[in-house]
Amino acid sequence: MVAELVLALDLPRALDAFELLDRLPALRWVKVGPMLMTREGPGVVRDLVDRGLRVFLDLKWHDIPNTVSGAVAAARELGVAMATVHVLGGRAMLDAAVVSAGPDLALVGVTVLTSHDPGSYAQTVGRPGVDLNAEVARLAGMATEAGLRGVVCSPREVSLLRERLGADPYIVVPGIRRGPDALGDQVRVASAEDATRNGATHLVIGRPLLHAADPSAVLEEFMKESRCAAP
Ligand code: C5P
């Protein structure tokens, strides 16, 4: 399988996003997060969909079932192709989200945020000695049992989750870098080739493309890497 490349549009203005997209005609997927959505509103999603792009709306919903269900319905009406919810929102929230998503909106569950280490996660959930891999696997299982299309995880958990979840669920992975790329604030990174080989279906890439002098050439490099990993 060749993983899809998803450009994270972590930019303050829609205008900058569209200028960059003009230079990337080969791109099929974009991710809209809280930064762009809060500044520009749903019009930016409509414009991206009208351009023929598949939009991943990454707002990581975690609220009562009725509220999340309404947000998912709004995303579906906008033509969003994929969206995130926090698995920790609980089974009733996940069930309500799945019903609202219908067959065309792929919901993926955030397990443990990659910004947590075992200490900060243990403090947050009030449990000593949390094994983060076990916790990620447990939450990923909850997500797929509730009927979510897949999960989001760090590059370090891709193999574990592909083994536990089987072949079908989406595994969406941020933190993708080439050798020379700056890590920025990412710690747990992987190459596009390794993440694809381990079973990722969607690779989320932001700064290596957003800051590239020639984004089209960099996109082609990432595409080549993910094709190389395909069996
Ligand atoms: O710039 P960079 O390639 O690090 O961007 C990664 C993208 O993936 C950002 O939009 C970030 O918000 C998102 N993300 C992440 N870690 C997660 C979930 C999402 O880096 N656990």
CA-nearest residue for atom 19, ligand 1, is: 174
Rounded to 5°, angle at Cα 9 from 95 and 112:
40
Given this model, what pLDDT does residue 185 score?
81
111 lines ligand 1 (CB under 6 A): no
* Alpha-carbon gap, residue 164 to 167, rounded angstroms: 9
Given this model, what pLDDT does residue 183 score?
87
Instruction: Give the pLDDT mean for 84-111.
Output: 97
Given this model, what pLDDT does residue 188 score?
77
Is the distance from CB of 191 to CB of 177 less than 8 angstroms?
Answer: yes
For the stretch 195-205, pLDDT in tens is: 999 999 999 99
* Alpha-carbon gap, residue 79 to 45, rounded angstroms: 8
For the stretch 173-200, pLDDT in tens is: 999 999 888 888 877 789 999 999 999 9
End-to-end CA distance of the chain: 7
pLDDT exceeding 70 applies to what percent of the chain? 99
pLDDT of 134 strictly over 70 = yes
Structure tokens belonging to residue 105: 């909106």
Could you give the C-alpha distances from 217 to 3, 8, 208, 227, in angstroms and in order? 18, 17, 11, 15
* Alpha-carbon gap, residue 178 to 190, rounded angstroms: 8
Given this model, what pLDDT does residue 231 score?
57
CA-nearest residue for atom 5, ligand 1, is: 206
| Residue 224 annotated in active site | no
34 lines ligand 1 (CB under 6 A): no
pLDDT of 70 strictly over 70 = yes
Classify residue 42 as exposed, middle or buried by CB count within 10 Å of its CB (0-12, 13-18, 19+).
middle
CA-nearest residue for atom 20, ligand 1, is: 174
* Alpha-carbon gap, residue 12 to 19, rounded angstroms: 13
Model confidence at 230, pLDDT cuts 50, 70, 90, reads: low
Q: Which atom of ligand 1 is nearest to the CA of 153?
A: 21
pLDDT exceeding 90 applies to what percent of the chain? 87
Given this model, what pLDDT does residue 114 score?
84
Instruction: Give the pLDDT mean for 195-224.
Output: 96
Given this model, what pLDDT does residue 227 score?
86
Q: Active-site residue among 18, 42, 49, 60?
A: 60
* Mean pLDDT of the chain, nearest integer: 95
Helices 65-78 + 43-50 axis angle, to 10:
40
